[in-house]
Structure 1
């Protein structure tokens, strides 16, 4: 996802420990992290991979406790795409020690930037239509 989607702030929209702010995402991530990861990966991949395929890979890696390496690669890509800092520590460290919180933070970040991970990749978010100067109130 090397496309510039506009000017965004150079910080995360929410902290790593704000995972409880969206109860539904928090519950889904704690019970079925492969779904949350698949949704994130599909958007980061700009639809070149599906939520299902990414979720299956994540689930298989989960069985051998290697899922965090895969998800940290996607966190890095998401950060690079939006110019976000690597905080509170390295991407792999965040996913190794706080996997559910990291996934919730990434999911929330995509939503704050206009994406709807539950709908999958439908293209970059569009800006609000510009009103011509002649059509002012």
Structure 2
């Protein structure tokens, strides 16, 4: 008879379903653990070839095509929350491209991290295939996704956090009132 792990073992609450399960040698009750925080996955905000919709994005895609290490460095800095800087990530990517001819294995790992952080649709296999077959399009899509989520790609993680906290602090304070005209 199948005995699933207890709640203390998995950390997830265990509930009982009273349906009959023929798969576990005639057991009359099946216990299962469900993930308490599962959210539905969402689509990417732009398509893989979304560069062609606006001129600003088209220009950025050309930069990504000719020098992907800059785009990758900025994306990695946001995803890693500045634990590795833009320069370090971009330089490592450039080094991998020079030594191995491509840095797609490194960059596809960041695509997977990004999907997990923001609940985006996809899987590790498609991440690897997209980066292997069309690295500039994949990096541009990730860059646009972060921009569409409100990140300023030029300031990094800490700059975005500071900008958000400054915006919240400013919104909660009343503006100073001027006292009429004076000379």
Q: TM-score, normalised by structure 2?
A: 0.61
Structure 1 partner of 2:45 = 13
| 1:54 matched to 2:86 | no
For 1:75, which of 102, 107, 111 is the aligned residue?
Answer: 111
Give the match for residue 23 of structure 1: 58
Shift of 1:65: 2.3
Corresponding position of 1:38? 73
Name structure 2 gaps, 5 residues minimum: 1-38, 173-183
Matches of 1:65 and 1:20, distance apart in 2 = 27
How far the C-alpha of 1:8 sits from its partner, in A, is: 9.9
CA shift for structure 1 position 123: 4.0
Distance 1:117 1:8 in 2: 27
SS across alignment from 2:81: coil
| Gapped regions of structure 1 (runs ≥ 5) | 1-6, 133-137
**Is the contact between residue 44 and residue 78 of structure 1 (CA under 8 Å) also seen in structure 2?**
yes
Structure 1 residue 55: Cα displacement: 0.5
Q: Structure 1: which 4+ aligned runs deviate by more than 6 Å? A: none
Whether the aligned pair in 2 keeps the contact of 1:38 and 1:54 (CA below 8 Å) is yes
Which has the greater radius of gyration?
Answer: 2
- Kindly indicate whether the alpha-carbon contact (under 8 Å) linking 2:41 and 2:121 is maintained by their aligned counterparts in 1: no
**Greater relative CO, 1 or 2 (CA 8 Å, sep 6+):** 1
**Cα distance in 1, alignment partners of residues 106 and 114 from structure 2:** 13
Count of matched residue positions in the alignment of Structure 1 and Structure 2:
124
